[in-house]
Homo-oligomer: A and B are copies of this chain.
């Protein structure tokens, strides 16, 4: 064993607004031998998450900000190349948070062994990972739609929204989703069973479009977008509606003073609305049971998901920047395995 030549993606400079590929740098790195209690892993997939942007601006958020030169954080799945940890053996598939690296040395903490199953390994980063679990707890725990209620999901063709809408359908709700462009909208209705898809790009007045899609008002809104989308939806909620704030992509990387701001706050009172933010990691103890249910629904074909996979770490920065233009169609992932540069072992 010896240091392993590999590559990684680091932050080149703080990102004050929306990201561009030039804000990142792909660089070679020698990955050291694992020490006692550590393992060396080869990455198969890493995730591309909009929420990461909140840590790239140099401003403290709920997680500390990254400094230039830091490796970009993300979830990752891969296989164990060498192990000096009693719980993991060479060849094990593992999920961790080692970020945009082709290889990494990691400790056992925060690492989870993935049992091979019918789903591809990439699903552990999507429908069976944080996005799927966010949809699960956001809808089933916080939103709790009742049969007959209408549920609105923003960014509905995305990693969280696409699962959330299907879970709401399982509960007997009518489901409306917003997405950008006719292809995504068609997919929502024809493949995932959404009742209505609202193409926000084609609607000059989103509030009016949301109202048309559900004149009865929304009992639950799972929001991944924030900004003007959240504001428009606030005006279209039913009495006692629940707004579950799962992500605020529109606000990430925008200084507070420059944000559009929520102006429809009086609806909170007139419609007795509840608005709640959450961090899915708070439900970590219940992840195994939630994941088992999601796995079951995938197996019986009642839950569908879609991945937007780009090839190679070098493509990660552009994929990240594309998230904020709605370019991904499904869970955005980077397949790292074939990344050129690191010698295959």
Chain multiplicity (copies): 2
The answer to the question of A266 belonging to the interface, with a C-beta cut-off of 8 Å to chain B, is: yes
Chain B residues within 8 Å of A269, by CB:
62, 245-248, 277-279
Decide yes or no: A275 and B272 within 8 Å by CB, A262-B262, A266-B251 being known contacts: no
Nearest B residue to A60, CB-CB: B270
Cβ–Cβ < 8 Å partners of A273 in chain B: 276-277
CB distance from A294 to the nearest CB of B (A): 22
Contact status B262-A272, CB under 8 Å: no
- Whether A245 touches B259, Cβ cut-off 8 Å, given contacts A276-B274, A278-B272, is no
Point out which of A257, A263, A272, A276 has the most chain B C-beta atoms below 10 A from its C-beta. A263
Q: How far is the CA of A278 from the CA of B266 in the complex (A)?
A: 11
Q: Which of B61, B246, B274, B279 contacts A275 (CB 8 A)?
A: B274
A230 within 8 A of B: yes
Interface flag for A78 (CB, 8 Å) = no
Minimum C-beta distance from A126 to chain B (A):
20
A215 to chain B, nearest CB (A): 15
Contact status A263-B268, CB under 8 Å: no
Interface residue A296 (Cβ < 8 Å from any Cβ of B): no
- What residues on B are CB-neighbors of A230 within 8 Å? 265
Asked if A37 is at the interface (CB within 8 A of a chain B CB), the reply is no
Q: A226-B266, A231-B261, A270-B279 are in contact. List 8 more A-B contacts (CB 8 A).
A: A226-B265, A230-B265, A245-B269, A259-B261, A261-B263, A262-B262, A272-B278, A274-B275
